[in-house]
Amino acid sequence: MYHSLYFNYEKKLGECDHSCFMCKNILKEWWEAIDIKGNSINVKKGQKFINEGSEMPGVFFIQKGFVKVHKHWGDREMIVRFTKEGEIVGHRAISSENLLSPISATAMQDSVLCFIELNFLRLYLKPIQLLHMSL
């Protein structure tokens, strides 16, 4: 089941500053599509927006804020990494048939995330994969 946050986003066109990992690594011609497909999400400090074991319908790019990526390790929590502005969270779902998240993610401060659905990302990545395979 999707985390409830996936349905509580605010669409804010034109607010993307194109400084995230994805926008830095794509052609500027794709920015308009990202602006249309991206969903801006405000997350409060301490709010978990990815639950380990939950279905991942997309990935998150940190526009503002600081996020802890963590997972269960027996009866303890293991911190996998911290992400900051411009970085990506939930990207393992892009290349996997298994859409269950291996991690959890929690905002360490009030944050703004850009959520992009996997279907759109896979559509964007397909021509790149085909080009790579032909080289």
Instruction: For residue 43, give every residue at least 6 positions away whose Cβ sits within 8 Å of its Cβ, in sequence order, or none.
Output: 5, 49, 65, 107, 110, 111, 112, 113
Q: Do residues 53 and 100 touch, judged by C-beta distance below 8 A?
A: yes
More confident residue, 31 or 117: 117
Q: Do residues 51 and 101 touch, judged by C-beta distance below 8 A?
A: yes
Tokens 């969903």 -> residue: 39
Alpha-carbon gap, residue 37 to 94, rounded angstroms:
16
Q: Among residues 126, 73, 79, 127, which one has the least CA distance to residue 106? A: 79
Domain ranges of the chain: 4-134
The angle at the Cα of 6, spanning 12 to 80, to the nearest 5 degrees, equals 105
In this structure, of 54-58, 85-89, 118-122, the range with the lowest mean pLDDT score is 118-122
Q: What is the pTM of this model?
A: 0.72
pLDDT of residue 13: 45
Q: What is the pLDDT of residues 60-86, one digit of tens each?
A: 989 899 999 999 999 999 999 999 988
Average pLDDT of the residues of the chain: 77
More confident residue, 26 or 128: 26
pLDDT of residue 95 exceeding 60: yes
**Banded pLDDT at 90 (limits 50, 70, 90):** confident
- Class of the 4-134 domain? mainly beta
